[in-house]
């Protein structure tokens, strides 16, 4: 059993020591709590749980603390995928819910599993998700001053459970000040993908990740026999060719955990029950 989570990209120059320590403590606490959850739950349930914890922490750009778009509205996207069944579900540009990832998970049981905008919100309301504003004063201040002090951020989790099953979940509050209606990579197979062989969650510039089909490429390459390291290497070389900016975390069917980013600024944490790895 192993789990790795990420908290997106952050600008090193914009972070105080206090914020860095807070993120480090947060990531370590969430990955440990999620591993404990994994001990008695499936990988699918665990990645949804882990991402919901990240959504609940205003240090990250997902759920509470999501970025505000150019028209002053917060729209969030999230997706989850089961490596065993290869079912993926997600919400795109959903408004006024606390945990988009839990709405995405609820959609796993539906035939129509990816919903957007008002349809996603109506579904959430019908299934007991209360109306909730995820705006915090800091994001409103950033919006009003037209600043992006935290850069491009997304959160994600990848887990392998005691039965060797893989799952991935990803959630984002967007990049901030985008054109209303813009679609991120998080609720697509470019940013969130899993099968029986590998699971990957991405963060960074959504348009670059989609152009490179990053998560799907890595998983497909592992499926075709490449090691997870080589699959990451080849995919990030192709990302470099288009000047792309991204980071990714993944686990393969043998339990190998791997991460890579274009620049050393993706924050993440992993735990296998014994050893932590945390980077902030």
Alpha carbon distance 176, 184 (integer Å): 11
Catalytic residue among 134, 154, 170, 220: 154
Query: Under a CB-based contact definition with an 8 Å cutoff, are residues 249 and 259 in contact?
Result: yes
Closest CA to 190 of 180, 182, 181, 200: 200
Query: Under a CB-based contact definition with an 8 Å cutoff, are residues 89 and 108 in contact?
Result: yes
C-alpha separations of 40 from 35, 37, 53, 55 in Å = 9, 6, 17, 22
Alpha carbon distance 173, 62 (integer Å): 4
Alpha carbon distance 218, 200 (integer Å): 7
Reply yes or no on whether 154 is catalytic: yes
Phi and psi at residue 133, to the nearest 5° = -90, 125
Q: How far apart, in Å, do the first and last CA atoms of the chain sit? A: 23
CB atoms within 10 A of CB 111: 5
- Catalytic residue list: 154
């Amino acid at each position: 059993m192993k789990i790795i989570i990420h908290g997106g990209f952050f600008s090193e120059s914009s972070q105080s020591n206090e914020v860095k320590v807070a993120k480090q403590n947060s990531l370590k606490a969430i990955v440990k709590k999620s591993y404990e959850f994994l001990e008695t739950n499936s990988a699918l349930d665990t990645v949804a749980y882990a991402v919901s914890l990240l959504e609940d922490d205003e240090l990250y750009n997902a759920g509470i603390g999501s970025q505000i778009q150019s028209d002053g509205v917060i729209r969030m996207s999230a997706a989850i995928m089961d490596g065993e069944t290869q079912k993926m579900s997600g919400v795109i540009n959903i408004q006024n819910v606390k945990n988009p990832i839990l709405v995405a998970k609820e959609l796993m049981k539906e035939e129509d599993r990816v919903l957007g905008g008002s349809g996603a919100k109506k579904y959430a309301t019908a299934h007991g998700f209360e109306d909730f504003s995820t705006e915090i004063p800091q994001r409103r201040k950033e919006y009003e001053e037209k600043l992006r002090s935290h850069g491009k951020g997304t959160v994600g989790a990848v887990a392998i459970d005691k039965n060797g099953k893989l799952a991935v979940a990803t959630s984002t509050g967007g990049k901030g000040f985008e054109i209303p209606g813009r679609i991120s990579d998080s609720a697509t197979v470019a940013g969130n993908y899993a099968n029986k062989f590998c699971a990957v969650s991405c963060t960074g510039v959504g348009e670059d990740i989609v152009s490179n089909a990053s998560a799907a490429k890595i998983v497909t390459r592992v499926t075709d026999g490449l090691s997870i390291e080589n699959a990451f290497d080849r995919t990030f070389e192709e990302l470099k060719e288009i000047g792309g900016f991204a980071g990714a975390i993944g686990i393969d069917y043998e339990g190998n955990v791997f991460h890579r980013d274009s620049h050393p600024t993706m924050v993440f944490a992993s735990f296998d029950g014994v050893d932590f790895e945390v980077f902030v």
